[in-house]
Amino acid sequence: MRLTNSDRDAFIQAVLDDVPQTNYDEEARSKIQAWAVARMPEVVRIAYEKHPAYFETRWHRTPGCLATVYAVSVDNDTNIQEIDPAFYSELVELASLKSEQQRRERELRQQLKGVIYSCTTLKKAEELLPEFKKYLPADRDGNTNRSMPVISNLVATLTQAGWPKDQPLAQGA
């Protein structure tokens, strides 16, 4: 069976979906929400915990590639960088971690793309990538064969990144 670009792109995405990722945007949202609640006077915090729907939420800008966060606010100033530079530096670190994670994912995507786009048929992909058979499309022609050696560099790189998610990290990762 000939592989289409859609088959190849689906393969790449399926493999990358199996590499563990940290949701730094959610981590930042959680930290900002906790920070905003901690800034409240005690009596206001007690009221907020009992009746959160009565409190206004606002957009809080975040550094770098982190998503902007919608969180509770008791004043009009949502510029975290000016209000609490120490806390903002924690967010800068999260942004840096997210950026590094995105860079690693782009590199893995390029490596996978280089391998799978060199395969014109499902048979060739199965020969070159036997460990990745579960990510390949089903054979629409009925012909399959698997006898080529493993491409170890790609597997080692992905394993070092934590692939697959549901298994413990390999030694040295």
| pTM (two decimals) | 0.73
101 lies in which domain range? 5-160
Angle at CA of residue 11, ends 134 and 1, nearest 5°: 80
At 138-160, the pLDDT tens digits run: 887 655 454 445 555 777 788 88
Q: Is 43 inside any structural domain?
A: yes
Q: Is 75 inside any structural domain?
A: yes
Q: Is 173 inside any structural domain?
A: no
Q: Is 33 inside any structural domain?
A: yes
Q: What is the residue type of 99?
A: S
Q: Is 170 inside any structural domain?
A: no
Q: Is 165 inside any structural domain?
A: no
Q: Is 169 inside any structural domain?
A: no
At 5-23, the pLDDT tens digits run: 999 999 999 999 999 999 9
Q: What is the pLDDT of residue 170?
A: 56
At 34-43, the pLDDT tens digits run: 999 998 999 9
Number of domains in the chain: 1
